Amino acid sequence: MLTVAMPKGALLTDSINIFKEIGLDFSLLLEPGNRQLQVTDPTNSAKALLVRAQDVPVYVEYGQAQLGIVGYDVLLEKKPAVAQLLDLGFGGCRMSVAVPKTSPYKKSQQLPPNGRVASKFVHCAQDYFYKLDLPIEIVPLSGSVELGPITGMSEAIVDLVSSGKTLKENGLVEIDVLFYSTARLVAHPLSYRLNLDSIADWIARLEKKQSGNL
């Protein structure tokens, strides 16, 4: 049976909808009061695992799920050994550098050498400043990174931005964009190569759906 790792949070509803359009219904995961972390499609063709977005590529890489949906930002941060197959086009956001409105720094290159940047995306931030040849100390945070500049712990942050409302409410402004992120379909490499659980058929349906031919 095909197993799909589905991301909790902002991508879940669109992820469920896109699979529903190709014949797999995991909408039980959205029902109020549901506490199940694993549900089976009514046709008994596939099951879905509800996991944290950051854990989707882990379940796929280790073969507990043949397919998964995850943000491009997570793939760049985690660098998992999975096959990246499709840009699904939803969940659009951007990874940005932001500073206080009162900051004298208007571009990333203007940040002081050996300055501090707070981020949940440590590897993405490190890679970005390495390419700029700018020595920066990345302060790893798992919560509200906006507090970094507010408290004076860092000169800037690197974080995902969607509407920009959170930045604005905390007196921060974007000065650079590292990359744009959308939801991606990923697969377990061996399952993909061997076409286990008819994975190729489901991928083909998703490709047709994306091209508007389904």
Same domain, 119 and 39: no
User: Average pLDDT for residues 70-98, to the nearest whole number?
Assistant: 97
Same domain, 134 and 87: no
Could you tell me what percent of the chain has a pLDDT over 90? 93
Same domain, 80 and 112: no
CA atoms within 13 Å, Cβ hemisphere of 101: 6
Long-range Cβ contact pairs of 201-205 (< 8 A, separation 24 or more): 202/2, 202/22, 202/24, 202/46, 202/67, 203/67, 203/85, 203/86, 205/22, 205/23
Same domain, 107 and 36: no
Task: Please state the separation of Cα 103 from the chain's center in Å.
Answer: 29
User: Average pLDDT for residues 27-52, to the nearest whole number?
Assistant: 94
User: Average pLDDT for residues 26-41, to the nearest whole number?
Assistant: 93
State the average pLDDT for the chain: 95
Question: What CATH number corresponds to the domain at position 169?
Answer: 3.40.190.10
Structural domain boundaries enclosing 50? 2-91+182-211
96-117 pLDDT, tens digit per residue, is 999 999 999 999 999 999 999 9
114-128 pLDDT, tens digit per residue, is 999 999 999 999 999
**pLDDT band per the 50, 70, 90 thresholds, residue 79:** very high
**pLDDT band per the 50, 70, 90 thresholds, residue 93:** very high
Q: Using the predicted structure, report yes or no on whether residue 214 has a pLDDT greater than 60.
A: no
Choose between 195 and 50: higher pLDDT.
50
Domain total of the chain: 2
Q: Tell me the Cα Rg of the chain.
A: 19
* Residue 212 pLDDT: 72
Same domain, 186 and 148: no
Instruction: Flag the least confident range among 47-51, 159-163, 195-199.
Output: 195-199
Same domain, 195 and 205: yes
Q: Using the predicted structure, report yes or no on whether residue 213 has a pLDDT greater than 70.
A: no
Same domain, 65 and 104: no
User: Average pLDDT for residues 174-193, to the nearest whole number?
Assistant: 97
